[in-house]
Amino acid sequence: MSAERCNDDAVDEVLREAMEPVFRDLRSTGISLPRVEDNDWAECGAMLRSPDGTGAGVSLDRSAPEFERVAMIADQVQEWVIEELWGRAPTNWPRCPHHPDSHPLEASVRDRVAVWMCPADQTPVAPVGGL
């Protein structure tokens, strides 16, 4: 078993680290955190589970630098949140402060930092984890 291999019976540590800042943003914006479960079918992956049992898979590329991993996970967690809010609340999470009634922010990388940026004018709004 090489060190690069993902842990078989627990959610991977690298994945947990990448999720941490994104979960901080969920908490600071009042979104209930999903339960995180090990995912058998995706290498270095996990399942995000809602209280009602629906789930979405997340995974990452371990060879990517840390800031890219965070941006990757932010993007996937965002999809889960949008699904989660569907039909119950506005789904534009995280809300763009410049255009609060239209698009959500988009996960991206600027100067080796994972950021949320406005997709319309490409302005970084906050680092991921700093909402």
118 touches Zn ion by CB under 5 A: yes
Q: Which of 81, 96, 107, 109 binds Zn ion (CB under 5 A)?
A: 96
CA pair distance 5, 90, nearest whole angstrom: 39
Under 8 Å between Cβ of 79 and 24: no
Nearest to 116 by CA among 15, 25, 34: 25
The window from 4-12, 39-47, 75-83, 112-120 that contacts Zn ion (CB under 5 A) reads 112-120
CA pair distance 72, 120, nearest whole angstrom: 20
Q: Which of 16, 24, 62, 99 binds Zn ion (CB under 5 A)?
A: 99
98 touches Zn ion by CB under 5 A: yes
33 touches Zn ion by CB under 5 A: no
Q: Min. distance of Cβ 26 from Zn ion in angstroms?
A: 20
One-letter amino acid at 15 equals: L
Question: What 3-state DSSP class applies to 14?
Answer: helix
97 touches Zn ion by CB under 5 A: no
Provide the binding-site residues for Zn ion, judged by CB under 5 A.
96, 98-99, 118, 120
